[in-house]
């Protein structure tokens, strides 16, 4: 039954497409034509790049062989369409999606860009990639039939929802008054919402008002408020506005949210978001008539996404938000700006009020004992009062003095932490949260290993926070990670810096503070499941700015949202965070050398110690020989033998080494002499090439590094690899010959071990797939290809080209390398005794029987299609394919 129903639906959809869309577009056509002649908009995207991604392909709509599409086959992705990068809505929508970790892509509606692949065709059924299509720059969207048609058809086919967001710059009228709703002169009273939304419900808590007509509107052609709500474009001929597709929009539209405001003393109600579920073209559309810069509009968008994502798990955050407010530098503020005793009273009172909103809430005081009671008499009293009420707060220790921890040795850190610990004991302050942040936040990220060690030794610290990972900006991208068993949570700023104690210290005064509370600080809460705010003790002195800010924030949250604010111990906050984002546990180290701010709080390592050249492998491609030869160049320094993997560091391909951190990685390499300019550090680890995470990890730490890939004949490589693991007593290789390894299959009932061995043996040779991954992270011009065959036969020539690519001075490798007939390979001429050569050890250039003809033929077939793809890839990049590949290509052409 299912298939006929589907076919009928598809037929109806096609029929409606055939009938309705043309009717609509005929109506629009005249305007379009005129417009494309006389205006700049629209015409630019008319000739969209269809060669690369034809419309037909991107939707898989070739009717004859179209597989049955099940509308439930849609991935939970979101696609954002926009025209102008400067569109302010774009930044906001993107941050919202990024912060909520919603899988999304953006597409600029432009001729020069490829249309993104809308469907997945690598699966047995066709799967749509996007559940929601968010359209910004709506004017351009509706003015361009090809784009409009494509996405309408996609939404029809996969039941995807289209969300069209008004942008201030466009002629989208959101009110009968012809003004953008929420303009400053409009006195906003309330915003009501239909019952259909219940994620972050936007409403006035005590006064919930349903949308006009209980959420459903009967559209009448003379209903000017709704018509004007819909996106308009201005006809270049008549100068009048033409509403969005009146033929498509149905007559029964639901209002998702309305605003109620006062205008000239009269209360008015206007819709700000409407949904059309029954459009005549079968696409559900949500129209947003309000700019996204408004906090409540962000909530509304989240609500809408949630509404349409129920079974698609687009959203990961619930309504619960954990909060912690740290008061750093307690006892430290400069003279005259410390909390006095009356400030402490205000603080305690405010804390009580906050506890009504966030049960169990306590401020978290980070102290430096050295400066206790240093200040004016009223400030001394303030310090004493904090201590006498210590049990009413949570406490954490900085160091005894207010010092930058990344400048301190382990011993110094121990001493200062212990002094601070003793201070707490002397004054009966309980410090047991297992949480700390260092003064100036230095040493947390980039990591100063002695800080982590001292924290564990002295305080048994298990949780800390930083605003620096991966970078300070953008703040909605800050993340947590775990290092050395300490959970590091993202830390948030709230515009109150150390020296800000009075309203006059803020440009814009209290109005600006309100804007911060309801804007950025609110967004921080919205974007993060756990928010640890950093404030400083001075922010609680004088005008009590921090208290005002948080009261405003909490009031706003209570008034407009159903966000549930909670608090807990730092350990539980960390557990909550990593339960929601388990993928964050494993850090991705960023380069301090690319970040001025990080350089200033990094424990002073030399950036020139980071490799600027990496030989990626693959394994058994001749990588050891290349490494050995290259290090003969006086300008190329490398690591000495490691204790764990001979000449390889394997930092990016091993979680064990990667988790040791950047300082450990760097400690493997020599420091280039500052006087010898042009000297650089390089490494080779043949395990990098195939490792799934290595490209991203490397890109984040050494984005400018030049990479070398050796393209050896994959058949020879596979056979060499088998001999290698057999030599190292791999139990499966020991009992199975090469033929049974490469021919293992489920059909032959091969054991799982044997199947795994086959994959490990053959998959690295599918070069184009691995390269595609590297090319996602590194530009082509940073990658150099070495012909693996040439490396064996004529390494001198290989090195000539490579040295030029690296950019170091010419070296006559003809004098350094010499063929050793006994070894059967090139070796390095000994500098002490020139008649002697130093060759690689017995494990490189092994003796084993030649590969059988049958196995060679089998592997030729196995790699044939992959090699073709590699060939095409290299040609596209204008690179010379290795000889073995050229021979194969010409052989196949002849045949
Ligand atoms: N000059 C020189 N000396 C010795 N060996 C050479 C040389 N040039 C290339 N080769 C080939 O390198 C193969 C080993 O590759 P790798 O060094 O990449 O192996 S590893 O992944 O690092 O273990 C090794 O594979 P086997 O012959 O199977 O031992 C050699 O074929």
- Tell me, yes or no, whether 564 and 430 share the same domain: yes
What atom of ligand 1 comes closest to residue 710's alpha carbon? 18
Share of the chain above pLDDT 90, in %: 61
Q: Tell me: is residue 847 an annotated ligand-binding position.
A: yes
Domain limit, last residue, from 242, 277, 306: 306
> Do 413 and 521 lie in a common domain?
yes
Which has the closest alpha carbon to 564: 317, 320, 325, 353? 320
102: CATH: 3.40.50
Please tell me the total count of domains within the chain. Answer: 4
Tell me which of 205-214, 734-743, 806-815 is least confident. Answer: 205-214
Pair (133, 199) in one structural domain: no
Residue 198 has pLDDT above 50, yes or no: no
User: What is the pairing mode between strands 530-536 and 320-330?
Assistant: parallel
Sequence length of the chain is: 895
Tell me: do 92 and 65 sit in the same domain.
Answer: yes
Regarding whether 178 and 165 lie in a shared domain, the answer is no
Is residue 477 located within the same domain as residue 534? yes
- Whole-number Å distance, alpha carbon 714 to ligand 1 midpoint, is 13
Instruction: Give 7's pLDDT tier (boundaries 50, 70, 90).
Output: very low
Q: Are residues 298 and 342 in the same domain?
A: no
Bridge partners for 487 per DSSP = 463, 482
Residue ranges with strand state E in 338-466:
364-367, 394-397, 463-466
**pLDDT tens column, 10-54:** 333 333 233 222 222 222 232 222 122 122 222 222 233 333 333
CA separation for the pair 289, 164 (Å, rounded)? 9
Clarify whether residues 95 and 160 are in a common domain. yes
Mean pLDDT of the region 79-86: 89
Give the domain CATH number at 788.
3.40.50.300
Q: Rounded distance, CA 597 to CA 591, Å?
A: 11
- Between the CA of 621 and the centroid of ligand 1 the distance, in Å, is 6
Largest distance between two CA atoms of the chain: 102
Look up residue 337 and give its DSSP letter: S
619 CA closest ligand 1 atom index: 21
> Which residues does ligand 1 sit against, CB inside 6 Å?
619-625, 686, 720, 723-724, 791-792, 825-826, 840, 844-846
> What is residue 240's predicted lDDT score, i.e. its pLDDT?
57
Q: Is the peptide bond preceding residue 167 cis, with omega within 30 degrees of 0?
A: no
* Ligand 1 mutation target, pool 845, 846, 847, 884, most atoms within 8 A of CB: 845
Give 885's pLDDT tier (boundaries 50, 70, 90): very high
The answer to whether 620 is a known catalytic residue is yes
The yes-or-no verdict on residue 539 having pLDDT over 60 is yes
DSSP state of 524: H
Whether 164 and 181 share a structural domain: no
Which pLDDT does position 628 carry in this prediction? 98
Could you report the per-residue pLDDT of 457-473, keeping only the tens digit for each? 999 999 999 999 999 99
Residue 218: CB atoms within 10 A of its CB come to 10
Specify if 312 maps to a domain: no
Q: Calculate the dihedral angle through the C-alpha atoms of 146, 150, 156, 162, rounding to the nearest 10 degrees.
A: -90
| Whole-number Å distance between alpha carbons of 657 and 650 | 7
Give the per-residue pLDDT at 201. Answer: 35
688 annotated binding-site participant: no
Query: Atom 12, ligand 1: which residue's CA is nearest?
Result: 622
Q: Six-digit token pair at 753? A: 């071990």
Ligand 1 mutation pick, 844, 848, 882, 884, max ligand atoms within 8 A of CB: 844
Are 430 and 556 within one domain? yes
Tens of pLDDT, residues 93-131: 999 999 989 999 999 987 566 778 898 877 888 889 999
Residues 599-621: tens digit of each pLDDT? 988 986 789 999 999 999 999 99
Q: Give the contacts of 684 (CB within 8 A, at least 6 positions apart).
A: 614, 615, 616, 617, 623, 624, 626, 627, 638, 647, 648, 708
Catalytic annotation, pick one of 298, 479, 620, 726: 620
DSSP state of 374: -
Q: Compute the distance from residue 650 Cα to the ligand 1 centre, in Å.
A: 18
Quick one: which atom of ligand 1 is closest to the CA of 687?
Answer: 21
Quote the tokens at residue 887. Answer: 């021979």
Q: Is 189 found in the same domain as 163?
A: no
3-class DSSP state of 675: coil
Q: Is residue 109 exposed (0-12), middle (13-18) or buried (19+ Cβ within 10 Å)?
A: buried
Question: Hey, is 389 helix, strand or coil?
Answer: coil
Residue 468 belongs to some domain of the structure = yes
Determine the structural domain holding residue 690 and report its residue range: 613-859
Mutate to test the pocket of ligand 1, among 620, 717, 726, 816 (most ligand atoms within 8 A of CB): 620
The residue whose CA is least distant from atom 13 of ligand 1 is 622
The answer to whether residue 595 sits within a structural domain is no
Nearest atom of ligand 1 to the alpha carbon of 788 = 9
CB neighbours of residue 264 within 10 Å:
6
- pLDDT at position 117 is 85
pLDDT at 478: 97
**Per-residue pLDDT, 188:** 38
- 593 within some domain: no
pLDDT tens by residue, 623-632 = 999 999 999 9
Euclidean distance between CA atoms 660 and 866, whole angstroms: 36
360/378 Cα distance (integer angstroms): 29
């Amino acid at each position: 039954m299912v298939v006929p129903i589907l076919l009928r639906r598809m037929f109806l959809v096609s029929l409606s497409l055939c009938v309705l869309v043309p009717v609509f577009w005929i109506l629009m056509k005249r305007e379009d034509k005129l417009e494309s002649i006389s205006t700049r908009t629209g015409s630019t995207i008319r000739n969209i790049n269809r060669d690369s991604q034809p419309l037909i392909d991107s939707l898989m709509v070739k009717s004859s062989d179209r597989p049955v599409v099940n509308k439930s086959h849609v991935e939970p992705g979101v696609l954002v369409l926009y025209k102008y990068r400067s569109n302010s809505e774009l930044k906001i929508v993107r941050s919202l999606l990024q912060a909520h970790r919603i899988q999304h892509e953006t597409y600029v509606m432009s001729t020069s860009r490829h249309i993104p692949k809308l469907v997945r065709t690598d699966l047995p059924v066709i799967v749509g990639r996007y559940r929601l299509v968010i359209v910004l720059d709506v004017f351009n969207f509706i003015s361009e039939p090809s784009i409009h048609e494509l996405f309408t058809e996609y939404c029809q086919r996969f039941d995807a929802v289209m969300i069209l967001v008004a942008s201030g710059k466009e002629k989208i009228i959101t009110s009968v008054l012809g003004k953008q709703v929420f303009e400053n002169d409009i006195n906003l009273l309330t915003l009501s919402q239909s019952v259909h939304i219940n994620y972050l419900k936007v409403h006035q808590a005590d006064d919930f008002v349903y949308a006009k007509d209980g959420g459903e509107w009967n559209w009448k052609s003379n209903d000017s408020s709704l018509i004007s709500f819909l996106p308009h474009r201005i006809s270049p001929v008549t100068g009048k506005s033409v509403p969005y597709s009146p033929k498509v929009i149905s007559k029964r539209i639901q209002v998702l949210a309305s605003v109620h405001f006062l205008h000239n003393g009269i209360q008015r109600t206007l819709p700000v978001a409407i949904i059309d579920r029954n459009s005549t073209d079968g696409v559900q559309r949500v129209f947003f008539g309000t700019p996204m810069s408004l906090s409540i509009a962000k909530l509304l968008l989240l609500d809408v996404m949630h509404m349409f994502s129920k079974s698609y798990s687009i959203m990961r955050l619930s309504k619960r938000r954990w909060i912690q407010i740290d008061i750093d530098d307690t006892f430290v503020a400069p003279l005259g700006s410390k909390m006095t005793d009356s400030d402490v009273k205000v603080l305690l009172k405010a804390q009580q009020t906050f506890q009504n909103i966030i049960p169990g809430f306590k401020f978290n005081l980070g102290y430096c004992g050295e400066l206790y009671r240093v200040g004016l008499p009223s400030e001394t009293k303030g310090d004493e009062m904090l201590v006498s009420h210590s049990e009413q707060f949570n406490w954490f220790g900085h160091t005894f003095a207010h010092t930058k921890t990344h400048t301190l040795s382990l011993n110094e850190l121990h001493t200062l932490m212990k002094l601070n610990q003793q201070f707490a004991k002397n004054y009966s302050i309980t410090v047991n949260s297992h949480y700390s942040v260092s003064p100036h936040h230095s040493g947390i990220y980039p990591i100063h290993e002695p800080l982590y060690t001292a924290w564990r030794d002295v305080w048994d610290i298990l949780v800390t926070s930083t605003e620096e990972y991966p970078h300070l900006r953008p703040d909605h991208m800050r993340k947590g990670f775990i290092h050395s068993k300490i959970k590091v949570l993202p830390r948030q700023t709230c515009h109150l810096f150390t020296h800000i104690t009075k309203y006059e210290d803020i440009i814009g005064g209290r109005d600006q503070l309100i804007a911060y509370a309801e804007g950025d600080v609110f967004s921080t809460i919205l974007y993060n499941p756990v928010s640890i705010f950093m404030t400083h003790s001075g922010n609680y002195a004088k005008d009590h700015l921090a208290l005002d800010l948080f009261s405003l924030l909490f009031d706003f949250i209570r008034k407009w949202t159903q966000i549930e604010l909670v608090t807990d111990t730092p350990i539980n906050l960390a557990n909550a965070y990593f339960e929601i984002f388990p993928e964050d546990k494993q850090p991705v180290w960023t380069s301090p050398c690319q970040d001025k701010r990080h350089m200033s709080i990094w424990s002073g390592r030399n950036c020139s110690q980071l490799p600027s050249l990496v030989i990626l492998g693959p394994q058994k491609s001749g990588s050891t020989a290349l490494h050995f030869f290259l290090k003969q160049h006086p300008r190329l320094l490398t690591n000495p033998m490691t204790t764990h993997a001979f000449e390889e560091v394997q930092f990016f391909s091993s979680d064990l080494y990667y988790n040791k951190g950047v300082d450990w990685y760097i400690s493997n390499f020599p420091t280039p002499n500052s006087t010898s300019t042009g000297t650089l550090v390089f490494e080779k680890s043949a395990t990098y090439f195939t490792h799934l995470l290595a490209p991203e990890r490397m890109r984040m730490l050494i984005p400018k590094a030049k990479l070398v890939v050796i393209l050896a004949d994959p058949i020879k490589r596979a056979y060499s690899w088998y001999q290698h693991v057999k030599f190292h007593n791999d139990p499966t290789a020991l009992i199975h010959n090469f033929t049974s390894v490469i021919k293992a299959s489920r059909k032959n009932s091969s054991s799982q071990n044997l199947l795994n061995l086959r994959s490990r043996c053959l998959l690295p040779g599918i070069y184009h797939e691995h390269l595609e991954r590297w090319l996602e992270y590194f530009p082509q011009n940073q990658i150099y290809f070495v012909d693996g065959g040439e490396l064996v036969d004529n390494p001198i020539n290989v090195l000539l080209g490579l040295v030029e690519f690296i950019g170091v001075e010419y070296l006559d490798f003809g004098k350094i390398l010499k063929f050793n007939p006994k070894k059967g390979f090139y070796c390095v001429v000994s500098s002490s005794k020139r008649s002697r050569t130093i060759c690689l050890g017995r494990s490189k250039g092994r003796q084993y029987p030649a590969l059988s003809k049958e196995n060679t033929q089998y592997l030729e077939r196995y790699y044939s299609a992959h090699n073709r793809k590699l060939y095409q890839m290299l040609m596209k990049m204008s690179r010379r394919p290795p000889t073995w590949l050229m021979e194969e290509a010409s052989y196949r052409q002849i045949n």
